[in-house]
Chain A
Amino acid sequence: MANHFNPSNLSLTPLFIGRIMSEMLRSRGPALFVFFFCLVSFANGTVEERLNLHLLAQKSDLIAIGRVVKLETVVESGEPWTLATVSLEKQMKGAHESVVQIRLPGGLQKIGNRILVTQVEGVPLPNVNERAVVFLSGKDKTQLALTGLGQGYWKIDIDQEGKEVARKSEGQDGSRIHLDSLVLEVQRVVRDLKQ
């Protein structure tokens, strides 16, 4: 009775993968099993751990740590936009700039004696003096947009241990990451993108 692996015996059942592995182990294909296993592990590990940030970095023209120094609303064709002026401290991707302006949909309009607030679900609301890691798209440094809206704005806070942590803007109480770790990871991703 042949003990080697016979692909023609296989059908596309849920046990397909298990059967392949089992047949490989029983036959003369352990090396192939290792190859196959490594390929799959590589695929899962790489994409799940890195690609969220990878895509964010890939789609961004500028990635930096900055401080919001000014907020103003402009109304264009009846639509308010908030222009957030950000002084950059450290850049991880993009041309070297000291100050950039981010355009965010929504803002405040004074109409008569009343204030009309316009917001867009998912758009972060930065505050003056707030520090953040920003992922920005666009070529004009006065017309930059947050990449992925809230995904591109990681507010920087100090945690209970006195360390700087960054969290995505949507997260009111969500997970955080130490700023140093985030910077290192971003730098690594940017390096990978260049290669």
Chain B
Amino acid sequence: MLACVFLTLPLYAFEIKEVAVSSTLRTLRWNTANGPVRITLNSKGSDDLPLGEVENSVRGALDAWQSVPNQALTFQYAGTSSLAVQNSSDQINSIVWIEKNWPLSSSVLGITKYSYWLEDPPELFDVDILMNGQDQHWSTSLNPGSGKHPQQVLMHELGHLLGLSHSSVINAVLYPFLSSDVRLKLSKDDRAAMKFLYGVPVLDFQLISPIQGAVFSELAKEDLPLPVFRWGNGGQSDFTVEFSDTKAFSRKKTVAVGQGTSYALTSSMAAKLDAMSPVKNIYWRVASGSTTTHPRVFRFRKPGIGQLSGIGAVLTADTEMAEIWKDTAILFLAGITISILVITWMRHREGYNRARLRG
């Protein structure tokens, strides 16, 4: 039991932020009617990089999100300013490298502090992104060994700034662990999330997320929020979510979810799905009366070992796992080296004994 718990690897879903206002959950986002969201970089930039390179990274990260088509939010890069500091109510959305007195764990690369008025609807008011300049080395090299790429981490933090939480889709920018390679593009899951928040609402009876072919962290060892399944109602009501290991849904698990248009996977259902198909594809669809949506497929996969530092404000288990595997690898190599040395010695000793016998 303990082994299961301590082996857990974080799992998040493509998630939005929701706020309880007057006993109702409301989606937290920017009001796009108020114009573009302005982003300002602190004029000190990062100690590790020329200011121009930091600015290019900020622009690149903004462009990545801005390039998602068919959505209403626009960014405006406001340049650098000494006024761009961490302050939750100055209405300056700041990006600041903290070079001293980083307030959180050293393995955290960056955090996003977001503020909103507790009103209906809740609207994002001021968001600041803090980057860990104290414990992390930053580099714009595409070689991950050179340092953390600011654009990659900023893309993740800007996702939080938009109102997104972490995603459990492994190749998503909002996945809570930095990939072992430098990725500067949004995944399909990230783009779907952006459209879900700021795009035209889906009015048809169709599936929204997870997207087709999404790959999630393995569910058998889940620890953190589980995937949320979303769909458009298209005028239907009283939904049932169905999961199956076959496209024909010959065997299936069903969950009646009433009139809502989302279903947050429970740990018990996750265990059932994992048992149903731990390595294969799992199909999901939504039924309402005699109508069903077209099924989509997703699958679970063990997270890669090469995922190193955590991003976002979470000291990730993978960070620790990376250390664990590093230690394991050292012990492993030490074992091999010692074995080879001893065997070589035995071999030489054997040869020596034979030579003595012959002599």
Contacts and interface: CB of A to CB of B under 8 A. Distances in A.
Interface string A1-44: 00011110000000001001000100111001001100110111
Contact of A171 (B225, B265, B320, B321): B225
- Most chain A beta-carbon contacts within 10 A, residue among B125, B320, B343: B343
A91 interface: no
A177 B224 contact: no
B275 interface: no
Contacts of B332: 39-40, 43
Nearest to A110: B118
B165 A39 contact: no
Given A5-B343, A39-B335, A115 B118 contact: yes
B226 A173 contact: yes
B85 to A, nearest CB: 8
B315 A151 contact: yes
A118 interface: yes
Interface string A102-139: 00011011010011111111110000000000000000
Contact of B313 (A40, A48, A51, A120): A120
B313 A122 contact: yes
A49 B7 contact: yes
Contacts of B346: 4, 28-29
B110 to A, nearest CB: 10
Interface residues of B, number: 68
Contacts of B88: 78-80, 109, 116, 118
Given A29-B343, A53-B6, A168-B223, 12 more contacts: A7-B343, A32-B339, A48-B3, A105-B111, A116-B118, A118-B113, A171-B223, A172-B226, A173-B225, A173-B226, A173-B266, A174-B222
Contacts of B182: none
Contacts of A122: 111, 312-314
Contacts of A43: 327-328, 331-332, 335
B334 to A, nearest CB: 8
Given A20-B339, A173-B267, A174-B225, A51 B320 contact: yes
A55 B112 CA distance: 25
A118 B89 CA distance: 9
Interface in B186-244: 221-226
Contact of A36 (B267, B315, B336): B336
Given A121-B313, A173-B266, A78 B350 contact: no
Contacts of B11: 174
Nearest to A177: B5
A31 to B, nearest CB: 9
Range of interface residues on A (Cβ < 8 Å): 35 or more
26 contacts: A20-B339, A28-B346, A32-B342, A32-B343, A36-B339, A39-B331, A39-B332, A48-B7, A51-B323, A51-B324, A55-B320, A78-B87, A78-B90, A79-B86, A105-B104, A114-B117, A116-B89, A116-B115, A116-B118, A117-B118, A121-B166, A147-B105, A170-B314, A174-B222, A174-B225, A175-B267
Contacts of A123: 313
Nearest to A6: B347
A174 B226 contact: yes
A120 B332 CA distance: 39
B125 A175 contact: no
A185 B4 CA distance: 13
A98 interface: no
B103 interface: yes
Contacts of B325: 47
Contacts of A28: 346, 350
B248 interface: no
A108 B118 CA distance: 9
A106 B104 contact: no
B33 interface: no
Contacts of B113: 79, 105-106, 118-120
Nearest to A38: B335
Nearest to A8: B344
B137 to A, nearest CB: 21
